[in-house]
Structure 1
């Protein structure tokens, strides 16, 4: 049956190898189950509900990837997109609205529906092909810096400073010290090719913290503990606090602002998914002779359905994970690898007290390290070529962390690129798609100006 479903012999693999690869992929991805509730809880959502929504939506999307696309790719809540959800949208643009997370979930839901339609009509690939390469690389690098900045804030490595806006935290703060130790641990594990190095690094850092707490050296915040509690079991009904809580009435009465938020989710998700899928497929030798990915529509459909299901359940955008390359390196070549990963996401639900007890100082190193992986795209940016490409990519990189907004970085990059193309008399290089993107961001600026008046 497995041979018929996944064509194992055709891809020169076997059941044992695929299952081990799936476990490897899950180990490298599982940190998101600790990180996502930590990030989204800042928006006012219930951490238990976020955990379950993340696990279920990840399983759904990964199962679709397994059975429909037959690729060894795992999906879950995307880093960067969850940060935009919590910090930029809920704590920023919608800070004065009641339950801003309900509005953000509505935007994610609409984004997912749009992507489902685009997947059916094959428009998504056309959109991606219209985006300048330099901007893609610059946006990816900018998101990396933004994620790292958030991780450093969560661990108090970087703190507020009245004189310089931000500054270095105190080495007397054990959260900062433990986070730095955790970063070294993760880096060392990855260097020695230890499978699940990011997750192991989180756990080891957490265990060190528990040892220090038991010794009376580390004192967690009042009312909290680093030790997980299984007392009373897990509240499986917690998901009812976020599931199907969309707010379409606000969206209808604030249509321009809502579309701008939705478009920002949509735009970032485009880069995240396409870059990851092509990169993993290339590593697994799944691209055809022209460098294209067969069944790419099914790949995007898995992402789109996962995002839609995740929004209905109560989590941010679901996207393909670059950590899937670890499973590919372990021999994964088919959807059986993805199926194994999806099953593990469901199994993780019963272990939620463990994941939810993991503190910020333990998850922050994962954010900082993954931020570095995304920042590596900066090496692909061509700064000595077309001025529009150079400035657009540069603004994407610097504006995301400095303005504390992924959407703002993208907005500056796109607007600068189009304007400089016109100024340098290369307007013919601007595709219809980029003109549409440009107009939408101009409308977003207009909406922001109107909010300040």
Structure 2
């Protein structure tokens, strides 16, 4: 039955390999169960309900992606957009979280219309090959940077912005050892190399202490009962954006642009790495994937959370061999189980997930070999895209700057007609976006 549903044999995978991949993806993104409620609570939302809502929104998003596309891509409330929700829309603009949920809902509705009509798919296909490679590699650098930053191997510095941390610290040594173990297991083609390393580092962390505290803390209990969602479910101020459109138009437009190109960029980068693209580089079922993304956002807003989107941490499961929707279904089931095992799930320290994020970055950077280095018109925009994604902490900014540079180069070199009209339109939208930002 599973083979018929997910075409396992056709994709050269097994139930075991897909389950391991799903567990790996979950281990890499389980942090959202703690981080999303912490961020959204700044908008005045109740933390207990948010923990439950985050898990439910993630599970539904994963199931939608599996059902509509059979892709190994997980979804959950997105990082970045949740900060925009809390700090810009609610605190900065002074709007209530109920209104912010309404903006998220209508954002999802608009995206669903764009997806059903095929416009979002055409937007993704309008991106030139160099930009697509830049997105894949940029996401890889971004993921690896986040992993190193989360454990203090890379730290902030007033003079140089970032610098090396304390490599002699137990956490740094544990992470570097984890990267070595993960690389070794991957070279030996051990199934579930990433998950094995995550669990191993978590276990070792129980016996290494810093200032009297173990890196991996022992939970107070094993089980927990999920909180109700009555305080957030369907509490959005549904009609506010319609009756106050002129007041919130700029906020909604920014939310649209951020969500649109973050989701497209993530899907393009992950699909390329998972080899889910056609010979011409286009992504089959892109329209369905974006539809799943849109419906997940609408559902999440009704439950009571910010934009739900595809997760770059899905790359961890993809590198573990995940190739079908069974991977994302497994991840979704893990989120549901987490509602009752939250104390155990939150035990996994950053030191355990950091090696996986670094390894994923290494894998995704292999897309560089697909660039035509003899064509500077392709290499320069790709370089700017992959550079700006980690430096600006935004896939959208990387795409915008890279695509703008590409279009200008094509205009100056007399090759403007070789660029699809839609690419010119997207570039113009980004120029307007930057002009009024």
TM-score under structure 1 length normalisation: 0.77
Match of 1:167, SS state, is strand
1:26-37, aligned counterparts within 5 Å? 26-37=22-33
Return 90-99 or 184-193, whichever deviates more: 90-99
Match of 2:436, SS state, is helix
Q: Match for residue 430 of structure 2?
A: 441
Q: 2:135, 2:386 within 8 Å by CA — same for their partners in 1? A: yes
Return 415-424 or 291-300, whichever deviates more: 291-300
Q: Match for residue 405 of structure 2?
A: 416
Q: 1:54, 1:315 within 8 Å by CA — same for their partners in 2? A: no
Task: Say whether 1:226 aligns with 2:217.
Answer: yes
Q: C-alpha displacement at 1:145, in angstroms?
A: 1.5
Q: 1:399, 1:408 within 8 Å by CA — same for their partners in 2? A: yes
Q: Match for residue 365 of structure 1?
A: 355
* 1:338-371 CA-partner distances (Å, limit 9, x unpaired): 6555434423322221122333333333332223
Q: Residue 392 of structure 1 is aligned with which of 372, 381, 390?
A: 381
Q: 2:59, 2:332 within 8 Å by CA — same for their partners in 1? A: yes
Q: Residue 114 of structure 1 is aligned with which of 107, 110, 115?
A: 110
* 1:173-225 CA-partner distances (Å, limit 9, x unpaired): 33333333333333333333333333332332222222224xx765369xxx7
Q: C-alpha displacement at 1:103, in angstroms?
A: 8.1
Q: Check 1:125–1:19 CA distance in 2 against 1; reply closer, same or farther (3 A cut).
A: same
1:13-162, aligned counterparts within 5 Å? 19-37=15-33, 39-40=35-36, 43-45=39-41, 52-69=52-69, 71=70, 73-77=72-76, 82=79, 84-85=80-81, 96=92, 109-162=105-158
Return 351-360 or 290-299, whichever deviates more: 290-299
* 1:217-263 CA-partner distances (Å, limit 9, x unpaired): 65369xxx7222228x5352265666556676698624234313321
Q: 2 CA distance for matches of 1:12 and 1:378?
A: 25
Q: C-alpha displacement at 1:131, in angstroms?
A: 1.0
Q: 1:22, 1:341 within 8 Å by CA — same for their partners in 2? A: no
Q: Residue 345 of structure 2 is aligned with which of 335, 355, 361?
A: 355
Q: C-alpha displacement at 1:275, in angstroms?
A: 4.6
Q: C-alpha displacement at 1:398, in angstroms?
A: 1.6
TM-score under structure 2 length normalisation: 0.79
Q: Residue 317 of structure 1 is aligned with which of 308, 327, 335?
A: 308
Q: 2 CA distance for matches of 1:241 and 1:174?
A: 42
Q: Residue 260 of structure 1 is aligned with which of 245, 254, 257?
A: 254
Q: C-alpha displacement at 1:107, in angstroms?
A: 6.3
Q: C-alpha displacement at 1:120, in angstroms?
A: 2.1
Q: 1 CA distance for matches of 2:187 and 2:98?
A: 41
Q: 2:49, 2:232 within 8 Å by CA — same for their partners in 1? A: yes
Q: 2 CA distance for matches of 1:63 and 1:311?
A: 17
Q: 1:234, 1:350 within 8 Å by CA — same for their partners in 2? A: yes
Match of 1:361, SS state, is helix
Q: 1:146, 1:406 within 8 Å by CA — same for their partners in 2? A: no
Task: Say whether 1:207 aligns with 2:197.
Answer: no
1:279-358, aligned counterparts within 5 Å? 280=274, 282=276, 297-313=287-303, 314=305, 316-319=307-310, 321-323=314-316, 325=318, 329=321, 339=329, 342-358=332-348
Q: Check 1:54–1:118 CA distance in 2 against 1; reply closer, same or farther (3 A cut).
A: same
Q: Check 1:434–1:76 CA distance in 2 against 1; reply closer, same or farther (3 A cut).
A: same
Q: Residue 237 of structure 1 is aligned with which of 227, 230, 233?
A: 227
Return 159-168 or 98-107, whichever deviates more: 98-107
Q: C-alpha displacement at 1:108, in angstroms?
A: 5.5
Q: 2 CA distance for matches of 1:366 and 1:357?
A: 16
- What is the alpha-carbon root mean square deviation over aligned residues? 4.0
Q: 1:112, 1:305 within 8 Å by CA — same for their partners in 2? A: yes
Q: 2:21, 2:318 within 8 Å by CA — same for their partners in 1? A: yes
Q: 1 CA distance for matches of 2:190 and 2:95?
A: 42
Q: 1 CA distance for matches of 2:145 and 2:84?
A: 14
* 1:406-453 CA-partner distances (Å, limit 9, x unpaired): 3332221122122222222222233332222222222222223xxxxx
Q: 1 CA distance for matches of 2:183 and 2:126?
A: 36
Q: 2 CA distance for matches of 1:191 and 1:252?
A: 57
* 1:120-178 CA-partner distances (Å, limit 9, x unpaired): 22333322221101011112212222222222221111112233221111235333333
Q: C-alpha displacement at 1:32, in angstroms?
A: 3.7
Q: Match for residue 161 of structure 2?
A: 165
Q: 1:33, 1:355 within 8 Å by CA — same for their partners in 2? A: no
Q: 2 CA distance for matches of 1:54 and 1:363?
A: 20
